[in-house]
């Protein structure tokens, strides 16, 4: 009898085990079918089949979670369908929560929806978030730069004991890097016992965001020493850092590295290389990269058009735009920003108006950036009143950059009354931005309104508003050197100043006389001339002349516009030293060769 009872129990347990295996096989089969769905139509049919079949509760819940994951995460899915399905699941698993949180952070126009979902999850108390939940929420915070919410999630990480998770640590580095809290990102990174490729890439990308190209390159070298090989995503970050800083030598080395080690390139990396060459003043190499691309999407065409535009090659930009249309690649709003900018830099008013009309034909609603381009075009061409009419009649409120274009146009045409009106709008929008005051001061200086300029300077002093210092950088032997106006900090400053005195003397010997109207203070002419000689781009160019020899091109990047006097001096320097000098200011590139500039004095 005892043997009989034991045999019966064994048979029951064996039956349960077989049943579990059958369920596991069923779940695997359902998961495979869902994963292989080619479109939402078949996915909906499969979903309907799951709902009508008599499945055990565990298998039913498992199948629904896989359907939800497909809808939320697959490129073929539908996030709206995922939201609807999630709302109908009585007790969604943590896998379902994670799928929806991650999916909502990947949509084209992300919002704080993932953060609200996480808050709801925390309020329900069940199921408990896991390391994947926290990592996905941190990624969502990074996407929308939600620093405050991300810090709260970080606290949750520490309280929940997830601080040792490599997945969570990497998400924290990425989050703080994208929020430009690079110091905190570095602290988390340094405390990681193990660093994977994603963590290294996030750290390099974070430094790129804040323009720390030397640090980004240093991290890239550390990563190589650690035996971690870069992928296309890593290289996009490093190449982008070179684009920001204008570090062409490093960018060329990276391009050679990619070709030597056969790093798998994709559209994004190829476009990053194209953008890097364009922003480093090497538009010919940018064109070579572009021509060699087997596939060119809208972003690649737009980058090439934008590159031509900022180099003042308006006709090339127009040709590229026409080729894009012939290749049946649909232009987007960025493409039209590029082509309108090209027209602005070339003073092509009729062409600019034609492309504006074409943009409307393509069904692209003009954005504030498009209005800024058309206003810039009109102001550069002397049609300031027409530009003002557009700004004051458009339904889209103009941004500060658009008002500044108008104010610059007023200065160029010496329109004092209109300039003061425009400045009034700017002061309402940005009452503490020093650039607005400097532009109005420029206008007063151009029409010799010294009393008004002094009064404006007094207001700035009373409100504690200080001008943004000019900063220029130059890359020499793979290191980016930065200079600010009246610089004293560079370790080779003594030798550099001696060379600058020699350079200034040779410039004066050509008959040059400084344009003292470019100095905003009402002081004696000698002091004004001295102030002009202290502009940051002159330090950078002098350093390039001192440290390099022809035919090396001197490439300088400046954070502000080049003033008229410096523009004239650089033309002379390029001639007397027989050197090609390329200066990238905030507006465009200036290529100086043999005493002339590519902008033809129109910028």
Q: How confident is the model at residue 532 (pLDDT cuts 50, 70, 90)?
A: low
pLDDT on residue 20? 67
Has residue 13 got a pLDDT over 70? no
Count CB atoms within 10 A of the CB of residue 478.
11
Mind giving me the DSSP string for 383-435? Answer: -HHHHHHHHHH-SSPPPHHHHHHHHHHHHHHT-HHHHHHHHHHHHHH-TT-HH
* DSSP bridge partners of 481: 474
Q: Which of 16-30, 31-45, 196-210 has the lowest mean pLDDT?
A: 16-30
**Per-residue pLDDT reduced to its tens digit, 258-294:** 988 877 778 999 999 999 999 999 999 999 999 999 9
Q: How confident is the model at residue 401 (pLDDT cuts 50, 70, 90)?
A: very high
- Residue range 351-363: mean pLDDT, rounded: 96
* Tokens standing for residue 293: 């691309």
The more confidently predicted of residues 596 and 55 is: 596
* Tokens standing for residue 87: 């709302």
- Write the secondary structure of 193-257 as one string of H (helix), E (strand) and C (coil): CCCCHHHHHHHHHHHHHCCCHHHHHHHHHHHHHCCCCCCHHHHHHHHHHHHHHCCHHHHHHHHHH
Has residue 38 got a pLDDT over 70? yes
- Report CA 13 to chain centroid distance, whole Å: 61
CB-based contacts of 504: which residues, under 8 Å, 6+ apart? 533
Has residue 4 got a pLDDT over 60? no
pLDDT on residue 603? 74
**Bond before 570 cis per omega within 30 degrees:** no
pTM of the predicted structure, to 2 decimals: 0.78
pLDDT on residue 12? 40
pLDDT on residue 22? 72
Mean model confidence pLDDT for the chain: 89
Is the CB of residue 550 less than 8 Å from the CB of residue 579?
A: yes
Residue 449's H or E segment, with its range, is none
DSSP state of 597: E
Nearest partner of 70 among 61, 56, 82, judged by Cα = 82
**Per-residue pLDDT reduced to its tens digit, 445-457:** 889 999 999 999 9
- Give the C-alpha separation, 495 to 476, whole Å: 16
pLDDT on residue 516? 57
Is the CB of residue 331 less than 8 Å from the CB of residue 325?
A: yes
**Per-residue pLDDT reduced to its tens digit, 118-164:** 999 999 888 999 999 999 999 999 999 999 999 999 999 999 999 99
Q: Which of 75-79, 98-102, 597-601 has the lowest mean pLDDT?
A: 597-601
Is the CB of residue 463 less than 8 Å from the CB of residue 469?
A: no
């Amino acid at each position: 009898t005892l043997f009989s009872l034991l045999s019966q129990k064994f048979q029951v347990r064996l039956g349960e085990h077989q049943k579990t295996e059958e369920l596991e096989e069923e779940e695997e089969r359902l998961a495979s079918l869902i994963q292989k769905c080619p479109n939402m139509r078949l996915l909906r049919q499969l979903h309907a089949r799951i709902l009508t079949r008599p499945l055990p509760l565990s298998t039913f819940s498992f199948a629904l979670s896989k359907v939800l994951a497909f809808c939320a995460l697959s490129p073929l899915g539908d996030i709206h369908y995922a939201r609807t399905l999630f709302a109908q699941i009585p007790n969604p698993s943590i896998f379902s929560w994670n799928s929806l949180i991650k999916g909502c952070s990947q949509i084209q126009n992300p919002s704080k929806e993932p953060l609200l979902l996480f808050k709801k999850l925390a309020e329900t108390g069940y199921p408990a978030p896991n390391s994947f939940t926290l990592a996905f929420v941190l990624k969502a915070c990074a996407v929308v730069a939600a620093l405050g919410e991300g810090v709260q999630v970080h606290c949750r990480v520490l309280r929940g004991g997830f601080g040792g998770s490599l997945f969570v640590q990497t998400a924290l580095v990425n989050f703080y890097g994208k929020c430009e809290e690079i110091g905190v990102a570095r602290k988390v990174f340094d405390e990681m016992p193990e660093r994977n490729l994603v963590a290294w890439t996030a750290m390099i990308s974070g430094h790129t965001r804040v323009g720390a190209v030397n640090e980004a390159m240093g991290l890239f070298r550390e990563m190589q020493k650690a035996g971690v090989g870069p992928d296309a995503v890593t290289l996009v970050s490093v190449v982008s850092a070179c684009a920001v800083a204008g570090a062409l030598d490093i960018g060329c080395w990276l391009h050679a590295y990619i070709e030597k080690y056969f790093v798998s390139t994709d559209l994004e990396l190829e476009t990053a290389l194209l953008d890097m060459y364009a922003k480093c003043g090497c538009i010919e190499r940018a064109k070579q990269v572009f021509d060699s691309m087997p596939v060119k999407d809208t972003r690649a065409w737009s980058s090439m058009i934008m590159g031509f535009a900022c180099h003042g090659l308006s006709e090339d930009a127009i040709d590229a735009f026409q080729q894009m249309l012939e290749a049946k690649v649909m232009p987007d709003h960025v493409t039209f920003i590029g082509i309108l900018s090209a027209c602005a830099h070339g003073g092509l008013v009729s062409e600019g108006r034609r492309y504006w009309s074409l943009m409307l034909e393509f069904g692209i609603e003009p954005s504030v950036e498009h209005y800024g381009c058309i206003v810039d075009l009109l102001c550069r061409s002397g049609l300031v009143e027409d530009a003002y009419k557009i700004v004051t009649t458009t339904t889209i409120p103009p941004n500060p950059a658009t008002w500044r274009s108008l104010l610059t146009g007023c200065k160029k045409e010496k329109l004092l009354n209109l300039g003061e009106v425009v400045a009034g709008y700017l002061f309402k929008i940005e009452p503490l931005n020093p650039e607005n005051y400097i532009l109005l001061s420029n206008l007063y200086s151009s029409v010799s309104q010294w009393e008004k300029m002094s009064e404006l300077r007094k207001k700035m002093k009373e409100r504690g508003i200080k001008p943004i210092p000019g900063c220029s950088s130059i890359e020499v032997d793979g290191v980016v050197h930065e200079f600010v106006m009246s610089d004293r900090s560079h370790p080779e400053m003594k030798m550099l100043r001696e060379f600058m005195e020699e350079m200034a003397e040779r410039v004066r010997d050509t008959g040059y006389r400084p344009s003292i109207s470019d100095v905003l203070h009402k002081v004696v002419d000698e002091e004004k001339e001295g102030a002009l000689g202290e502009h940051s781009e002159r330090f950078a160019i002098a350093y390039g002349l001192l440290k390099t020899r022809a035919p090396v091109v001197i490439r300088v990047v400046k954070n502000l516009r080049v003033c008229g006097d410096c523009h004239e001096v650089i033309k002379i320097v390029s001639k007397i030293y027989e050197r090609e000098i390329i200066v990238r200011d905030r507006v465009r590139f200036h290529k100086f060769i043999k005493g002339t500039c590519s902008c033809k004095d129109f910028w």
